[in-house]
A = this chain, B = another copy of it.
Amino acid sequence: MSPSPSRRKRHAQAASSAGVITLKQVAQEAGVSPSTVSRILNGTATVSVDKKAAIDAAIAKLGFQPNPVARGLAGGRTLSIGVVTQTISSPFYGEALRGIEDQLEPAGYIPIFVSGHWREAEERKAISALLSRRVDALLVLAGRLPDEELQALSLRVPLVVVGRKLQGPQLFSLEFDNLTGARLAARHLLDLGHRRIAFIAGDPAHNDALDRLAGYRQALEEAGEPVDPTLILPGDFTETGGLLAATRLLESRQPFTAIFAANDQTAIGAALGLHRRNIRIPDDVSVVGFDDLAPARFATPPLTTVRQSVYEMGAQAAGAVLSLLRGEAPQVVLPVPELVPRESTRRLLR
């Protein structure tokens, strides 16, 4: 008997995914060594023209697709990017993820989305799971992790952060111009003659929220209007938060003629709160949102808001990741925020 002649077959079941072609088979077909195939695959060295042709032909003929898992193990690259999102089901993150996906796909990278749910511990866990899967880079959308922690993280893996101001050799961040956007929104209301303008804030742990509040204040100050703290209500970027805030505002009996909400979802919740008390938009109260996502466009009445392309933000962030991976300095140009007047605002009648 020949000694263990079936050794080769031990892993037969690992290849259960049918007749998967390996690099080795391509090499055989092309009459070269696996190393050479690998090299042309990775553009890692110059290869003679005829061999390249033979290999290309073999790849095409066999329909070879390199196994990213093996590449990951051997080369330390997995062609996957870990993306830490907060609430995968919100329209905001949905748009951003779409931008990321669209940008990464043509480059051959695949995003792996994990939700942090605005909880520090969960974000940390998500990142650890992503790292253990050897993602090539990380893209963190907002969240509550301390800046220092992200800074430290970027020592281990290329990192792009949305909604912070951070930088480092392998660290890049980008932000909307929330301040300008919010000033636009508030000024729009001021221009329409509104003076008692309430603001429903976003999650205070979120830079965007802080900047939008600052923009609101600034616009009022620029117009020489006092900032009345009783008109500033807490919110959390959700419809429920907006509904609650509007209800509280109404109960406080503070006079007001307009509401500027920190995002569209908040504005829509607030609109419902007004509706419940038979207050009509825009006849009785004007409402402005922020983001210009689908819910704003299709609200009844359609919501005046500030357009920030969340999709573009996602795409640019993903582009920055790709730059970092190539060892280049990311170059991003975000579209400037723009006011989109629709039917939820109107001139104040005296």
Contact = CB atoms under 8 A, between A and B. Distances in A.
A299 interface: yes
A121 to B, nearest CB: 13
Nearest to A75: B14
Tell me which of A68, A95, A114 has the highest count of chain B C-beta atoms within 10 A of its own C-beta. A68
A223 interface: no
Given A69-B78, A113-B113, A134-B69, A239 B97 contact: no
A69 B72 contact: yes
A94 B101 contact: no
Nearest to A71: B69
A6 to B, nearest CB: 18
A272 interface: yes
Contacts of A128: 65
Interface of A: 11, 13-14, 16-18, 65-70, 72-73, 75-76, 78, 80, 87-91, 93-95, 97-98, 101, 110-115, 128-129, 131-134, 156-157, 239, 243, 265, 268-269, 271-272, 275, 281, 294-295, 297-302
B91 A98 contact: no
Given A88-B98, A94-B89, A239-B294, A68 B132 contact: yes
A97 B101 contact: no
Contact of A17 (B88, B156, B272): B156
Contacts of A281: 300
B73 A69 contact: yes
12 contacts: A17-B134, A67-B73, A69-B73, A69-B134, A89-B94, A91-B94, A110-B129, A110-B133, A112-B112, A272-B298, A272-B300, A275-B301
Given A73-B73, A269-B298, 18 more contacts: A14-B75, A16-B76, A16-B156, A18-B156, A65-B128, A67-B73, A69-B69, A69-B133, A69-B134, A70-B73, A88-B97, A89-B91, A89-B94, A89-B97, A91-B94, A110-B129, A113-B113, A275-B300
A132 B67 contact: yes
A271 B295 contact: no
A95 B89 CA distance: 5
Nearest to A122: B105
Nearest to A78: B69
A113 to B, nearest CB: 6
A101 B88 contact: yes
B298 A300 contact: no
Closest 10 CB pairs between A and B?
A: A89-B94, A14-B76, A239-B298, A69-B72, A89-B98, A65-B132, A275-B300, A69-B134, A268-B298, A68-B133
Contacts of A302: 272
